[in-house]
Structure 1
Amino acid sequence: MIEFAPDIPRWRQVADVIRQRIKDGTYPPRSRVPSIVQLMEEFGIATMTAHKVHRSLRAEGLIYTEPGMGSYVSKDAQVD
């Protein structure tokens, strides 16, 4: 787990961690990213918070979700 800053929403802090992992190659293109349940377990966050992390990363074009299969890093994901 990470120590959360009190003045920044938790979903944003977790999304930043996942974004950094994509940037540094921990999650290369087309690799699977943590599921909602895995995010909840790793970061100790609520279900809705984990869903917001995925929604945010999808909106940025960093991940895509295959229904029933999971969420993956976009093949051309670019993190600035």
Structure 2
Amino acid sequence: MQFVPDIPRWRQVAEVIRSRIEDGTYPPRTRVPSVQQIIAEFGIATATAQKVHKGLRTEGLIHTEPGLGSFVTEQSATPSAPDKG
């Protein structure tokens, strides 16, 4: 991955993971890459990879279950307009 100099690396990596969640590469309730897997794939430091997970948790996109890993959060469907009929 080619990093953009003016954007923190953790944000750039988080955007990649976020895109994979949105496009279904990582469906709800499936495991997302661990900190170690992110380090290996993107060549970033441990603290940076941990920030990726923290940022995605803050956004509500993933949740971490101690001892099991981090998983895509089940997203609620976008509310549609009520039927008038």
TM over 0.5: yes
Letter in 1 for 2:61: L
- Structure 2 gaps, min length 5: 78-85
4+ long deviations beyond 3 Å: none
Identity of aligned residues (%): 68
| Aligned residue pairs, count | 77
- Structure 1 gaps, min length 5: none
| Aligned twin of 2:10 | 11
| Aligned twin of 1:31 | 30
Relative distance call for 1:77 and 1:13 in structure 2 (3 A) is farther
Give the structure-2-normalised TM-score.
0.88
Give the structure-1-normalised TM-score.
0.93
Greater relative CO (CA pairs within 8 A, separation 6+): 1
Letter in 2 for 1:44: G
| Distance (Å, rounded) in 2 between the aligned partners of 1:56 and 1:7 | 18
Aligned 8 A contact 1:61 1:77 in 2: no
Q: Does 1:45 align with 2:57?
A: no
